[in-house]
Amino acid sequence: MTLVLSNHELGLVETVGRALAQPAPRSLDSWWSDTSPLLLALFDADHAICALPGRSLLAANVDADVSARLGTIYTLAPAELKRLDPLICAIEDDSGRRPCVVFNRIGTLRQAESKQRRSLVLHDVFERSRIRDSVNVDLITHGGPARLCVSYDRPTGGIDRALAVARLLVPAFEAGARVLARDADPPLCNDHGLTARELEVARLVVARLRNLEIASLLGISAHTVRHHIENVFAKLDVRSRHDVAARLRGG
């Protein structure tokens, strides 16, 4: 679709973009309290949620009674979702294969749940939250998954337009996620003879990315990722992905 924005909307897009690209790691709550109203105004939305690498979930206009359940469908990584609900996992797996995806997660989940009627998690969430549609930006970054979402308590006829606007914000959101990932994690040391590529893969393992996500981000095959991880395990003398972080941080 051809996206036409008014001068006011263009100004909001620029303002939100600047805010997303320059988060304040030491006062993240203050940054979110300034940024979330701009997001809600830009998208004419009812709620906003942001999950950034190494940071706790940030929410605006989300009732505390349902925030934990909303976290399930807004921000949990696919590996965690699999333990909760196979229907959610199937939908999340599709988006998790790409470094960036902009889509209506709530609308997609609602359609799947209404057709298949086998998601107790989603039924509980939707019954209690009344949320109808959402605009989601999901990124796979070197720091880990980063997700931004605005959502609606009412059906909106402009969801495609809202998704187009969200795509304009992707570069700014990705830049902000990189800043926070850099500040959240201590540097990894390489005293174990890892190659540059093995260290790059190890960083993504530490960020809890799956093999398919690493492959998508680095532009290599899942088989090659698996080979690199095997080499990392051997050189670090570890047996699990969890142990990789401890060893590279001097543990």
Q: Report if pTM > 0.75.
A: no
Closest by CA to 43, choosing from 165, 176, 155, is 165
CA 43 – CA 58 distance, rounded (Å): 18
79 and 137 in a single domain? The answer is yes
Residue 84's pLDDT is: 57
Q: Of 61-65, 154-158, 172-176, 243-247, which range is least confident?
A: 61-65
Domain boundary among 164, 184, 204: 184
SS3 state of residue 151: strand
Distance of CA 177 to the CA centre of its chain: 10
Whichever domain contains 244, its CATH number is: 1.10.10.10
64 and 151 in a single domain? The answer is yes
78 and 175 in a single domain? The answer is yes
- For the stretch 95-137, pLDDT in tens is 556 778 898 888 877 776 666 555 666 666 666 667 788 898 9
| Residue 145, CA distances (Å) to 74, 105, 127, 193, 211 in order | 12, 15, 27, 28, 13
Domain boundary among 184, 207, 238: 184
Total domains present in the chain: 2
- For the stretch 61-81, pLDDT in tens is 776 555 555 555 555 544 555
- For the stretch 14-42, pLDDT in tens is 999 999 988 876 688 888 999 999 999 99
Domain range spanning residue 217?
196-248
The residue whose two tokens read 């809202």 is 162
And the tokens for 108?
A: 């997609």
141 and 116 in a single domain? The answer is yes
Percent of the chain with pLDDT over 70: 71
139 and 207 in a single domain? The answer is no
160 and 65 in a single domain? The answer is yes
2 lies in some domain: no
